[in-house]
Amino acid sequence: GLVCTDNSRECVVGCRGGDDGDADCVDATPVVVPLGQSVQVSDAEICLSDTDHYTITLDEGERLFATLILSDPDRGELGFDVLAGCDGRVVVEGIRQGFGVLASFAAPSAGQYIIRVYGGSADDTNGYDLTLTRDYADCRMDEVNGQIVEPNNTYLRATALGATPEEALVIDELQVC
């Protein structure tokens, strides 16, 4: 990755446009994360007044777990947020935890989401590793004979199925979460 000096706070190698993640949302670096797996962007760097953008495509309800680990916790502060496409609407902001920043959310709709990594101020620089995990959607609603039977998590909320001995009752693909 790029190394920033303590004195000038400028990158020794130099930040080029789109150094790690692209500098603007429109040309964001795509990150392909297979469902149920993680992908890591390693040895990336935020330099003076730098912002990196990465894109990930999610289906509705799929979960994204993002972890940003700082290369040196004594250097500049970094943060990230997740945007719903390039419209700038923040879906979730990363929360500082120890030497890193964490975020998790379920996609409200299918589409492209932008992970924007930035310095806490224009003077903050630091290296980072970004891990993105794309996970399965939360439980879907159970359906029996075309009827939604959720919530039915306790005996007090049991769903009356209404089948008589002469009727066929089809219960298919129920999930326990």
DSSP letters along 108-167, please? SSSEEEEEEEEESSTT--EEEEEEEEEEPPPPPPPEETTEE--S--SGGGPPP----TTS
pTM over 0.75: no
**Residue 16 pLDDT > 60, yes or no?**
no
Residue 26 DSSP code: T
Q: Are 43 and 4 in contact (CB under 8 A)?
A: no
- Amino acid 125: pLDDT: 87
Cβ count within 10 A of residue 120: 13
- Amino acid 3: pLDDT: 42
Q: What is the pLDDT of residues 114-140, one digit of tens each?
A: 999 999 887 888 999 999 999 987 655
Q: Which residue has the higher pLDDT, 147 or 57?
A: 57
Q: Which residues contact 125 (CB under 8 A, 6 or more apart)?
A: 4, 9, 11, 45, 46, 47, 48, 50, 75, 76, 119
Helix (H, G, I), strand (E, B) or coil at 67: strand
- Amino acid 123: pLDDT: 83
Q: Nearest-CA neighbor of 163 among 147, 141, 140?
A: 147
Q: What is the pLDDT of residues 24-44, one digit of tens each?
A: 566 688 889 998 899 999 999
